[in-house]
Structure 1
Amino acid sequence: MQESHSNESQIQIRLVTKQSEYAVPDIPLSVPANIETAGLNELLNHLLKENKPDFLKQKQFDFLASGELVRVSLIEHLQERSVSVETTVEVEYIQVTPAPQPEDSILHEDWVAAIETANRWMLIGCYDHSVSIRTPHGKPVTSSKEHKNIVKDVAWVDQQQPSKGLVSVSHDLTGILWAWEEGTDKIEPRVKLRGHERGIDTVAVSPNSNRLATGGWDTNLKIWSASLDGDDNGEPASKKKKGPSDISTRTPIHTLNGHKECISSINWTNNHVLYSASMDHTIKFWDAELCGIKNEIVDQKAFLSSSWSALSNTLLASSADRHIRLYDPRSTEGSVCKVMFTSHTLWVSSVAWSKYSEHLFLSGSYDSTVKMWDTRSPKAPLYNLQGHEGQVLVVDWSNSKYLVSGGTDNYIHIFKNKQIFK
Structure 2
Amino acid sequence: MIGERVQIRLVSKQEAFAPPDVLHTVPLDVDEKALNEIVNQLLKEYNADYVKELEYDFIIADELLRTNLEIHLKEKDVSTESIIDVEYIQRTPAPEPEDSILHDDWISGIHTCAGKWILTGCYDKGVYLWTSHGKPIVSLKNHSNSVKDVKWISTENPQKGFVSVSDDETGILWQWEEGTTNAKPTFILKGHSNGIETVNISPNTQRLATGGWDQTLKIWSASLEIDEEEPASKRQKGNLNVRTPIVTLEGHKGAISSINWEDDYSIITTSMDHTIKVWDAELNGIKNEIVGNKAFLSSSWSQIANTLLTSSCDKLIRLYDLRSKEGALCKCSFKAHSGWVKSLDWSPYSEYLFVSGGYDAKVKMWDTRSPKASLYDLEGHEGDVHKVDWSGRQYLISGGADNYVHIFKNDLLI
Same-fold status (TM-score > 0.5): yes
| Conserved 8 A contact 2:92-2:413 | no
**Counterpart of 2:318 in structure 1: which amino acid?**
R
Matching residue of 2:186: 190
Post-superposition offset of 1:26: 2.4
Residue 268 of structure 1 aligns to a residue whose secondary structure is strand
Partners of 2:412 and 2:298 lie apart in 1 by 26
Matching residue of 1:17: 12
Match of 2:157 among 153, 157, 161: 161
**Counterpart of 2:100 in structure 1: which amino acid?**
S
With the length of structure 1 as denominator, give the TM-score of the two structures: 0.95
Post-superposition offset of 1:10: 0.9
Matching residue of 1:218: 214
| Conserved 8 A contact 1:229-1:236 | no
Post-superposition offset of 1:419: 2.0
Match of 1:350 among 343, 348, 352: 343
Post-superposition offset of 1:253: 0.7
Post-superposition offset of 1:7: 5.5
Matching residue of 1:128: 124
Post-superposition offset of 1:183: 2.4
| Conserved 8 A contact 1:350-1:364 | yes
Partners of 1:51 and 1:386 lie apart in 2 by 39
Matching residue of 1:278: 271
Matching residue of 2:104: 109
Partners of 1:364 and 1:112 lie apart in 2 by 12
**Counterpart of 2:127 in structure 1: which amino acid?**
V
Matching residue of 1:340: 333
1:52–1:289 Cα change, 3 Å: same
Q: Name stretches of at least 5 consecutive residues in structure 1 with no aligned partner.
A: 1-5
Question: Would you say 1:268 and 2:261 are equivalent positions?
Answer: yes
CA offsets, 1:298-323, max 9 Å, x none? Answer: 11110000001001000100101101
With the length of structure 2 as denominator, give the TM-score of the two structures: 0.97
Q: Name stretches of at least 5 consecutive residues in structure 2 with no aligned partner.
A: none
Runs of at least 4 residues off by over 3 Å = 235-239
Match of 1:371 among 347, 364, 375: 364
CA offsets, 1:265-308, max 9 Å, x none? Answer: 00101111111110111110001010011111211110000001
Partners of 2:188 and 2:50 lie apart in 1 by 59
**Counterpart of 2:5 in structure 1: which amino acid?**
Q
**Counterpart of 1:333 in structure 2: which amino acid?**
E
Post-superposition offset of 1:229: 2.2
Partners of 2:352 and 2:161 lie apart in 1 by 30
* Aligned residue runs from structure 1 range 49-88, under 5 A: 49-88=44-83
Partners of 2:362 and 2:120 lie apart in 1 by 20
Question: Would you say 1:171 and 2:167 are equivalent positions?
Answer: yes
Partners of 1:324 and 1:292 lie apart in 2 by 27
Question: Would you say 1:34 and 2:29 are equivalent positions?
Answer: yes
CA offsets, 1:144-200, max 9 Å, x none? Answer: 100000000011111111111100000000000011111211100110111100000
Matching residue of 1:384: 377
Matching residue of 1:3: none
Partners of 2:220 and 2:305 lie apart in 1 by 27
Post-superposition offset of 1:237: 4.8
Partners of 2:178 and 2:103 lie apart in 1 by 22
Number of equivalenced pairs: 411
| Conserved 8 A contact 1:141-1:183 | no
| Conserved 8 A contact 1:282-1:299 | yes
Partners of 1:141 and 1:420 lie apart in 2 by 30
**Counterpart of 1:123 in structure 2: which amino acid?**
L
Percent of paired sites with the same residue: 57
| Conserved 8 A contact 1:10-1:30 | yes
Question: Would you say 1:290 and 2:275 are equivalent positions?
Answer: no
**Counterpart of 2:103 in structure 1: which amino acid?**
H
Residue 42 of structure 2 aligns to a residue whose secondary structure is helix
CA offsets, 1:235-263, max 9 Å, x none? Answer: 56589xx99x8311111111101000000
Matching residue of 1:207: 203
Matching residue of 2:324: 331
Post-superposition offset of 1:420: 3.0
Partners of 1:87 and 1:197 lie apart in 2 by 63
Question: Would you say 1:419 and 2:412 are equivalent positions?
Answer: yes
**Counterpart of 1:419 in structure 2: which amino acid?**
L
CA-based RMSD:
1.6
